[in-house]
């Protein structure tokens, strides 16, 4: 099919960035907009999997009712499930403690000599080390070598980045680990110690509806459709070429003509579609998600548990039955593992998880693997001065005429839908 419509904008990707971009462009007076995605459902990397009576997410997704996303699509609010999540970590000492740092487990339990070593190593890191070059240096600067190891943060960083922390660029560490700076400032430590309970969250925490993300984001898409936005899902893009003052997007037998291209798909996909070459250094993490059901004694109370111990390749688990209720007496949860940490093998990831939790006295009872999923492009990791390479790739696309931004489109670690919304608004408003 060759589109006879000359679109004002063609948006590639129907994730948060794509949906918000359509909404902002509408506000700016753009009349004819089409959103194209190779996935056959809305929401991009917000992926859920229904297996039997259970619905899992590929990771830990928690939203808030004051998200700017809801300013675009307020109709979605009533479909979220209000939740009361809590976060914890499994420490290298085998305890479940507060996430990300626990004054009691990480510091006080280290004893007098341990506390002295923590103090000395922080002083050394702050005043004697000259350079902060990478993610490891960054963490060391804030909490010192000794606490970095004792708290398990060093091991978690390896699990999160998929490569040793000293290989990860400083920009990425600053983006992903800002909390470290916030938690280890003298003011924050004093707040912890005096147990000042002044930080009561003013927003409500939310999870997706039971029926999944597609239903949730269909509410947003329906609103956009009523404003004239067209959606083409399950449509793989082959080629983007220039035609007169605009562009043609070729997808199978279909052709879409537009004046403007907004790309939110992985940056290398956009480069390849424009025949601009790809940059092999712009690598993203592939995630293995394992989905379990369980009955027995789980051994911890929090709904999200991070693995800070020195072994076990799993990174984080989320107990969805805490949000949606157990099913026939069984709890159910998802486990995230960076594929490269598990020899790119789902079987290895499962066996490793089972033996690790058993060694740590977690999930004593009947633990059944219900399914799994491999997610490429889960998040970008900055290695080998990626920032410069991203800037070069974005400049190439810009010179070709493609505006590329978002978590994949900007190769930008956007931790939340809130940040992705704000980024899309800022990008499009700046251009307007
Ligand atoms: C594991 C995980 C946990 C997260 N937790 C939270 C959370 O708790 N709260 C929160 O608000 N946000 C969370 N986020 C971040 C949030 O999801 C992102 O900020 C937001 O989804 C980015 O939207 P986007 O449209 O820019 O990109 P994406 O959703 O990544 O997708 C853009 C487009 O790129 C293409 N694409 C995406 N993935 C792939 C793929 N695997 N292969 C090929 N093409 C692909 C699709 O066409 C898609 O439409 C999490 C993300 C992940 C991956």
Percent of the chain with pLDDT over 70: 95
pLDDT at 86 over 80: yes
pLDDT at 427 over 90: yes
Ligand 1 site residues (CB inside 6 A) read 13-18, 37-39, 44-46, 58-63, 264-266, 375-379, 406-408, 414-420
pLDDT at 323 over 60: yes
Average confidence (pLDDT) over 85-112: 94
Report which protein residue has its CA nearest ligand 1's atom 27: 407
| CB distance 79 to 216 below 8 Å | yes
Whole-number Å distance, alpha carbon 416 to ligand 1 midpoint, is 9
pLDDT of residue 408: 94
Report which protein residue has its CA nearest ligand 1's atom 5: 61
Atom of ligand 1 minimally distant from the CA of 62 = 8
Per the model's pLDDT, the better-predicted residue between 71 and 282 turns out to be 71
Q: Which of 59, 48, 100 is nearest to 415 (CA)?
A: 59
Report which protein residue has its CA nearest ligand 1's atom 31: 44
Top mutation candidate among 17, 39, 44 for ligand 1, by most atoms within 8 Å of CB = 44
pLDDT at 182 over 80: no
Atom of ligand 1 minimally distant from the CA of 417 = 11
- The 3-class secondary structure across 113-130, one letter per residue, is HHHHHHHHHHHHHHHCCC
pLDDT at 308 over 70: yes
Whole-number Å distance, alpha carbon 161 to ligand 1 midpoint, is 17
Whole-number Å distance, alpha carbon 38 to ligand 1 midpoint, is 14
Whole-number Å distance, alpha carbon 180 to ligand 1 midpoint, is 24
Average confidence (pLDDT) over 148-167: 90
pLDDT at 280 over 60: yes
**Strand pairing partners for 49?**
56
pLDDT of residue 32: 96
Report which protein residue has its CA nearest ligand 1's atom 30: 45
Whole-number Å distance, alpha carbon 333 to ligand 1 midpoint, is 20
Question: Full-prediction pTM beyond 0.75?
Answer: yes
Whole-number Å distance, alpha carbon 388 to ligand 1 midpoint, is 23
Average confidence (pLDDT) over 237-245: 94
Per the model's pLDDT, the better-predicted residue between 338 and 173 turns out to be 338
Whole-number Å distance, alpha carbon 71 to ligand 1 midpoint, is 19
Report which protein residue has its CA nearest ligand 1's atom 47: 13
- Confidence at 109, pLDDT banded by 50, 70, 90: very high
Atom of ligand 1 minimally distant from the CA of 410 = 26
Percent of the chain with pLDDT over 90: 76
Average confidence (pLDDT) over 80-97: 97
Sheet holding 63-64, edge to edge: 63-64, 205-207, 81-83
SS3 call for 16: helix
Top mutation candidate among 45, 175, 315, 337 for ligand 1, by most atoms within 8 Å of CB = 45
Alpha-carbon torsion 366, 370, 371, 377, what sign? negative
Q: Which of 430, 429, 389 is nearest to 410 (CA)?
A: 389
Structure-block tokens of residue 151? 């708290």
pLDDT of residue 200: 62
- Confidence at 193, pLDDT banded by 50, 70, 90: low
Atom of ligand 1 minimally distant from the CA of 407 = 26
Top mutation candidate among 10, 15, 34 for ligand 1, by most atoms within 8 Å of CB = 15
Per the model's pLDDT, the better-predicted residue between 258 and 253 turns out to be 258
- Confidence at 203, pLDDT banded by 50, 70, 90: very high
**Strand pairing partners for 257?**
6, 248
The number of residues making up the chain comes to: 432
Lowest mean pLDDT among 173-177, 336-340, 379-383: 173-177
Average confidence (pLDDT) over 287-314: 97
Report which protein residue has its CA nearest ligand 1's atom 7: 61
Whole-number Å distance, alpha carbon 134 to ligand 1 midpoint, is 25
pLDDT of residue 178: 78
- Confidence at 192, pLDDT banded by 50, 70, 90: low
Structure-block tokens of residue 41? 């459902």
Please give the domain boundaries of the chain with CATH numbers for all domains.
2-46+212-281+383-431 (3.50.50.60), 101-193 (no CATH)
| CB distance 334 to 290 below 8 Å | yes
Lowest mean pLDDT among 66-70, 174-178, 361-365: 174-178
pLDDT at 196 over 70: no
pLDDT at 349 over 80: yes
- Confidence at 3, pLDDT banded by 50, 70, 90: low
pLDDT of residue 176: 77
pLDDT of residue 37: 96
Average confidence (pLDDT) over 286-312: 97
| CB distance 355 to 137 below 8 Å | no
Average pLDDT along the chain: 92
CA distance 238 to 221: 24
């Amino acid at each position: 099919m060759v589109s006879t419509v000359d679109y004002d904008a063609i948006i590639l990707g129907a994730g948060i960035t794509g949906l918000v971009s359509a909404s902002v462009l509408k506000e700016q007076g753009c009349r004819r907009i089409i959103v194209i995605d190779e996935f056959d459902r809305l929401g991009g990397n917000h992926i859920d999997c229904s297996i039997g009576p259970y619905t899992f997410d590929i990771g830990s997704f928690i939203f808030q009712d004051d998200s700017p996303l809801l300013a675009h699509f307020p109709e979605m609010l009533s479909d979220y499930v209000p939740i009361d999540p809590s976060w914890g970590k499994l420490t290298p000492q085998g305890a479940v403690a507060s996430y990300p740092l626990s004054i009691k487990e990480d510091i006080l339990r280290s004893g007098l000599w341990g506390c002295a070593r923590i103090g000395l190593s922080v002083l050394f890191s702050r005043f004697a080390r000259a350079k902060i070059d990478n993610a490891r240096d960054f963490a060391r600067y804030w909490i010192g070598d000794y606490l970095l190891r004792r708290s398990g943060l060093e091991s978690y960083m390896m699990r999160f980045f998929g490569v040793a922390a000293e290989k990860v660029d400083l920009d990425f560490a600053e983006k992903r680990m800002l909390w470290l700076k916030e938690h280890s400032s003298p003011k924050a430590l004093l707040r912890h110690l005096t147990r000042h309970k002044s930080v009561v969250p003013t927003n409500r925490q939310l999870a997706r509806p039971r029926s999944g993300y597609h239903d949730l984001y269909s509410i947003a898409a329906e609103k956009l459709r009523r404003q004239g936005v067209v959606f083409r899902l399950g449509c793989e893009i082959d080629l983007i070429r220039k035609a007169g003052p605009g562009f043609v997007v070729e997808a199978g037998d279909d052709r879409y003509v537009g004046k403007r291209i907004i790309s939110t798909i992985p940056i290398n996909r956009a480069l390849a579609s424009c025949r601009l070459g790809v940059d092999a250094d712009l690598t993203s993490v592939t995630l293995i998600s394992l989905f379990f059901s369980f009955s027995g004694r789980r051994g911890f109370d929090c709904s999200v548990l991070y693995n800070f111990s020195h072994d076990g390749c799993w990174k984080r688990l989320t107990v969805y039955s805490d949000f949606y209720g157990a099913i026939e007496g069984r709890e159910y949860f998802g486990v995230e593992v960076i594929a490269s940490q598990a020899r790119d093998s789902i079987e290895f990831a499962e066996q490793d998880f089972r033996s690790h939790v058993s060694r740590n006295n977690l999930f004593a009872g009947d633990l059944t693997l219900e399914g799994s999923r491999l997610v490429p492009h889960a998040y970008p990791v900055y290695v080998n001065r990626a920032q410069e390479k991203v800037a070069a790739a974005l400049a190439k696309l810009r010179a070709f005429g493609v505006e590329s931004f978002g978590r994949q489109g900007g190769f930008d670690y956007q931790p939340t839908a809130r940040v992705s919304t704000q980024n899309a608004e800022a990008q499009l408003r700046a251009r307007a």
